[in-house]
Amino acid sequence: MYSKTMPTGFPKDFLWGGATAANQVEGAWNVDGKGLTTAEVVQKATDRKVMSMNEVTKESIQEAIDDQSDKRYPKRRGVDFYHHYKEDIKLFAEMGFKVYRLSIAWARIFPKGDETTPNEAGLKFYDDVFAECHKYGIEPLITISHYEMPLILTLTNNGWASRKTIADFTRYTEVLFKRYKGVVKYWLTFNEINASTWGFTGTGAVDSDLNVHDQMQLRYQALHHEFVASAIAVKQCHEIDPEAQIGSMLARMQTYANTPNPVDVRAAQLQDQLNLFFTDVQVRGEYPEYMNRYFVENGIELEMEPGDEQLLAEGKVDYLSFSYYMTTITSATDDVEQASGNLSMGGKNPYLKSSAWGWQIDPVGLRITLNEFWDRYRVPLFVVENGLGAEDKISDDGKIHDDYRIDYLRQHIEQMKEAVKDGVDLMGYTTWGCIDVISAGTSEMSKRYGFIYVDQDDEGNGSLKRMKKDSFDWYKKVIASNGEDLD
Ligand code: BG6
């Protein structure tokens, strides 16, 4: 007789929590020996529908190096987590977090990127942060490189465009695995590995002076170096701390065919492959065949060294994590209305509403993605980013009533639960920007995701005081009930 039963809800050890990134929260950009990072030369977008994070030129970098203030560079300020981490982690603990996803700023550990000895003050900061998490029984989940690297590596190597950067990265990762052995159980190599095909934020390479073909050539080559570096890090992690688990991280962009016309379905399939390529390499350990055709047809020639393919095969990740904010539609023709927002998001879906930034909100799509990932990869999954960016207002009663955020999160958690009932192996859920952070895409402060409000405006004015929003108490209830009480 068939004896397996259907799960009825989230597993008992489900990892509930929240996520941030060093360059968006820490501030303290020039203290305790830290070097300047690629994130800290990015200015606030002049139009919030444009991603300023990839609009970097050689001239704008020089201008940023000459400017020793944080006025025009919001990621130098963050929300001063560097000096508030005890207060912030205490608030996370009050919500009942089991896990807190954060990243390490590479330039705190290796300020110039190519030193042989790490900066002890940088390591000490993260010792203290992890100890603070453990004090409350919170497991840190660490992204090793979240949208930043030491700026000097851009100036000397053009970031990941050069193979030399692999050695700098593996020196950094070895230091981390040795120092935090037994302290950090969950690691991720690169945040949103697919961001490398979008430009500077992913590659640390300036390519604004190149034509589109040459840009893509450079980005796929840089990505190959990141794949190799990631595979080496996976191997190092397994050797140094066999108890730890290390995963990959993808910005998932589920896409649907615009119509049932097979040509639209095929166009959507290709679009989806171009999103799954990254995890195909990192989870399965090899380049998928469909990319051979894509590279030939787009004139992209990758340089690989002997041994690279073996490294990729040996550096398969233990679990797959991803960010999930939106879905798109794909058409074989260009007669479809485009979704307008600050990401290149494909066609507009008439069945979905969008955030103020044009991101199409699709909770059911999360269930679809979870099922597809589980079918395709058979490794545990982790939703490490999800959330609604919105402009929160302080009401006359002095509170922040963010019921729109509660609605968004509730609907996504409901669909995650459905996926768990479908049989998906889901490890955990960390909402994005559990405390308000500087936006990655536009460097605004006013695009907020948090359960905790931070008093700071786009220009950096404000007391930095932390305040609980309505969603704070709601999420506390969700965690306490292991996802059963969503009201
Ligand atoms: C993800 C990034 O792409 O989306 C985060 O990993 C980012 O760093 C998040 O903050 C939301 O994007 P944005 O542009 O609204 O900050």
Helix residue ranges per DSSP H, 180-288: 200-203, 212-240, 262-284
- What digits encode the pLDDT tens for the residues 245-285? 999 999 999 999 999 999 999 999 999 999 999 999 999 99
- What digits encode the pLDDT tens for the residues 345-375? 678 899 999 998 889 999 999 999 999 999 9
The pTM of this model reads: 0.97
Q: Is the alpha carbon torsion for 134, 138, 141, 144 positive or negative?
A: negative
**Alpha-carbon dihedral of residues 281, 282, 285, 288, nearest 10 degrees?**
-10
> Could you tell me whether strands 466-468 and 452-454 are parallel, antiparallel, or unpaired per DSSP bridges?
antiparallel
Contact 449 CB / ligand 1 (< 6 Å): no
- Is 385 designated active site? yes
CB 79 within 8 A of CB 439: no
Protein residue with its CA nearest to atom 14 in ligand 1: 441
Tell me which of 20, 101, 323, 354 to substitute to probe ligand 1's pocket, judged by most ligand atoms within 8 Å of the beta carbon: 323
- What digits encode the pLDDT tens for the residues 152-202? 999 999 999 999 999 999 999 999 999 999 999 999 999 999 999 999 999
Protein residue with its CA nearest to atom 8 in ligand 1: 440
Q: Which of 40, 132, 192, 226 is catalytic?
A: 192
Contact 192 CB / ligand 1 (< 6 Å): yes
Measured CA to CA in angstroms, residue 270 lies from 78, 110, 328 at distances of: 38, 39, 13
Contact 385 CB / ligand 1 (< 6 Å): yes
Compute, in angstroms, the gap from residue 441 CA to the centroid of ligand 1: 6
Name residues whose C-beta falls within 8 Å of residue 401's C-beta, 6 or more positions apart in sequence. 395, 469, 470
Compute, in angstroms, the gap from residue 439 CA to the centroid of ligand 1: 6
CB 129 within 8 A of CB 25: no
Name residues whose C-beta falls within 8 Å of residue 409's C-beta, 6 or more positions apart in sequence. 386, 387, 388, 431, 471, 474, 475, 478
CB 36 within 8 A of CB 184: no
Mean pLDDT value across residues 37-42: 97
CB 339 within 8 A of CB 358: yes
